[in-house]
Amino acid sequence: MKKLLFIIVIFLLKSCHDDVVPKPKAQLRLTYPEAQYKNKTLPLPFSFKINTLSDSVIVKPIRNDKDSKAINIVYPKLKGTIYLTYKPINKDTTQLKQYLIDAQNFTHEHTKIADEIIEQPFENDKTSVYGMFYEVGGNAASQSQFYVTDSVNHFLSGSLYFYAKPNYDSILPAADYLKNDIKKLMETITWQ
């Protein structure tokens, strides 16, 4: 009888036990204000629209090249910056070809770490703006890169960087938000 009672107790203890189910990890939900764009005129041979969330645009000459400029569009709330490089084209098609090769090589350097690189051509005949937008997937240092040109006088390239170690899942909401700002810049650029 004791043996039977012991078996019943063991059976009840085993049958009353719930399966352990781990709690799913909580995901941080980041929301950003709807983008509002304003025209930005700087001491440059082009203008464009910029998100009001950016608190500053810094323009500096590039060392050893008085006509080229480095432009930083700073987003402190997102802890990121869009870095632009402007170079004039001196009516030399080999110079434009070299700028294009350099921009493409710079993007393709990320293939060592990136999961994918999606190329999206951009063309606006009305404003003479032609270029390429690259969306870089994975834990690459830069999530978005681009270049635009009028094919005659102007060449502008840019890339997005965050002030943190690349972790694709963590920076994805901010990267998507700023990707739209880069596309807006490409769509609204006007050469002088």
Residue 70, domain extent: 57-191
Kindly report the pTM of this predicted structure: 0.81
Higher per-residue pLDDT: 109 or 25:
109
Instruction: Answer positive or negative: Cα dihedral of 67, 89, 84, 161.
Output: negative
Task: Using DSSP bridges, classify how beta strands 80-88 and 154-162 pair: parallel, antiparallel or unpaired.
Answer: antiparallel
Q: How far apart are CA 121 and CA 127, in angstroms?
A: 15
Residue 20 lies in a domain: no
Higher per-residue pLDDT: 148 or 107:
148
Q: Which of 8-22, 91-105, 134-148, 161-175 has the lowest mean pLDDT?
A: 8-22
Residue 69 lies in a domain: yes
Residue 179 phi, psi (nearest 5): -60, -40
Give the model's pLDDT for residue 11. 64
Stretch 125-154: mean pLDDT: 92
Residue 41 lies in a domain: no
User: DSSP states of 23-83 as a string?
Assistant: PPPP------PPP-EEEEE-SSSEEEEEETT--EEEEEEETTEEEEEEEEEEETTTTEEEE
Residue 18 lies in a domain: no
Dihedral (Cα; 175, 162, 117, 103), 10-degree rounding:
120
Residue 162 lies in a domain: yes
User: DSSP states of 44-56 as a string?
Assistant: SSEEEEEETT--E
Give the model's pLDDT for residue 27. 59
Looking at the DSSP assignment, which residues form a beta bridge with residue 77? none
Which residues are CB-contacts of 178 (< 8 A; sequence separation ≥ 6)? 75, 78, 80, 82, 143, 144, 160
Reported as a single tens digit per residue, the pLDDT across 51-88 is: 999 988 999 998 888 889 999 999 999 999 999 999 99
Residue 187 has pLDDT above 90, yes or no: yes
Residue 37 · residue 49 · CB < 8 Å: yes
Residue 61 lies in a domain: yes
Total domains, the chain = 1
State the first-to-last Cα distance of the chain, in angstroms, to the nearest integer: 99
Q: What is the three-class DSSP state of 90?
A: coil
Residue 27 has which token pair?
């995901």
Residue 146 lies in a domain: yes
Give the model's pLDDT for residue 75. 94
CATH number for the domain that contains residue 82: 3.40.1000
